[in-house]
Amino acid sequence: MNDFQAIADRVEIEALRGEFTDAAMMRDRPRLASLFTPDGALRMPDIPVELVGREEILAGGERLQSQWDFFVQNTHPGTIQLDGDTATGRAYIQELARALDGRQGLNYAVYHDRYQRTEEGWKFAERVYEVRYLDTSPLAGTAPRAAQGSGTDPAHATATPAPAASFTGPATAEQLERVAAALRANGFAAEILDDAADARVRVKDLIAEGASVLTGASETLRLSGIDEDINASGQYDAIRPRILAIDRATGADEIRKLVASPDFVVNSVAAVTETGSLVLASGSGSQLPANAGGAAHAVWIVGAQKVVPDLSTALRRIEEHALPLENARAQAVYGMPSAVNRLLILNAEPRPGRGTVLLLREAIGY
C-alpha cells in the first residue's frame, strides 16, 4: 500500500468515527446502524449490551435513545493500525448524559474498534465500549428544550419549544398502538377505544356495583359523563360526594383517609408517553395517593391529544398547555389560581391487573 492510500484510509476511518458520534448526537438511528457491516457488532460489556447486525443495532439505539433527556458525546482521535482491507483502532470518549428516569453522570470510555473496507467504504466490523471512569453525581446543568425528534436536518433542530397548540392534536393510530404496547410492557392493562362514549360503557364494566370509587377532578370525566355516572347514579359508594359533605376544618383526617385507599380510583392524566409512562399533576396532591397505589384498582381515561414522546415533553405539556387551562377554570370556580405543586409519574405498574388505561382515539379534556 502506498503512502497516499494509507493517508486516505486513515482520513476515511477518522471520518467514520466522527459520523458515529454525529449520528448518536442527532439521534439518527438508521444512519448509525448503516455505519456497521451487515454482521457488525456493537458491544458494551459494562452496561451490558451486545448488538449484532444492523437490525439489532438500530433497535438497540431506539431503546437507548428513548430513555435520554439529553446526551453529549465527544470523540477524541486515537490509534489506527491498517492491515490491507482491515484495520484496528481506538477512540477516546467523554460523555455527559441524563436519562428521563433521573439517572445521570459523566464518563470517560474507550472504543476498541475493528474496521472493514467495503464497496461502500470503511465500516465498523466491531465496536467494543470500555468504561474507564464513571461519575454519577447530579449534573448542575440542563438542556434547552429542543424540538423533539430532530434529525440530521438543521432546519428541524431548534432550541425554541414547540407551541402549546401542538399539544391539542390527537395522536395517530400508530402512536396509540405504540403507547398501548409500551403500557402493557410496563405492567398496565391498556385498551384503545373510539371515544368517550365507549369509555363510559367500559368503566361500568370494570367497576363492580357497590365498590368505593374516588373520581379525580378531571375535565375528561366531567365532559364524558363518567363523573356523573359514578357520583350521582347511586350504584357505587362514591367518595367525592362524601368528602364534599365533610367540614374541612374539623374533618381533615377523615377526608385524608377516605381519598387515600378506595376500591377504585377513576381519573385522567396530564400526559401519557410513547415509552409507557403516565404523568399526573395536582395542586393539593390529595388525589395522588390513590393513583400511586393506595387504591386497589385504577382506571385512567386518556384523550388522544395527551400522547407525547417522552417525559420531558410531558412536563412541558403540563406547564404550557394544561396549567393555563386549569388556572382559568380554578379562577372561575374557586376564585383562586391553580398551580403544579405535586407531580406523579407512573413508569410501571408492579401489581399486574391493578391499573387500566383507556386510550381514546378522540381528543377530550385538557
Positive or negative, the Cα torsion across 256, 261, 267, 270? positive
Confidence label for 238 from pLDDT (cuts 50, 70 and 90): very high
For 47-80, the pLDDT digits (tens) are: 888 999 999 999 888 777 766 777 899 999 899 9
Q: Which CATH number fits domain 3-156: 3.40.50.2300, 3.30.450.20, 3.10.450.50, 3.30.460.80?
A: 3.10.450.50
Average confidence score pLDDT of the chain: 88
Is the entire prediction scored with pTM above 0.85?
Answer: no
Q: Specify the range with the lowest mean pLDDT, choosing from 77-81, 134-138, 161-165, 280-284.
A: 161-165
User: What H or E segment, with its residue span, contains residue 18?
Assistant: helix 3-25
Positive or negative, the Cα torsion across 228, 229, 230, 233? positive
Quote the pLDDT of residue 149: 39
Domain locations along the chain: 3-156, 164-360
> In terms of CATH, what superfamily is 164-360?
NagB/RpiA/CoA transferase-like (3.40.50.10420)
Question: Is there a cis peptide before residue 48, judged by omega within 30 degrees of 0?
Answer: yes
Rounded (to 5) percent helix, strand, coil in the chain = 35, 30, 35
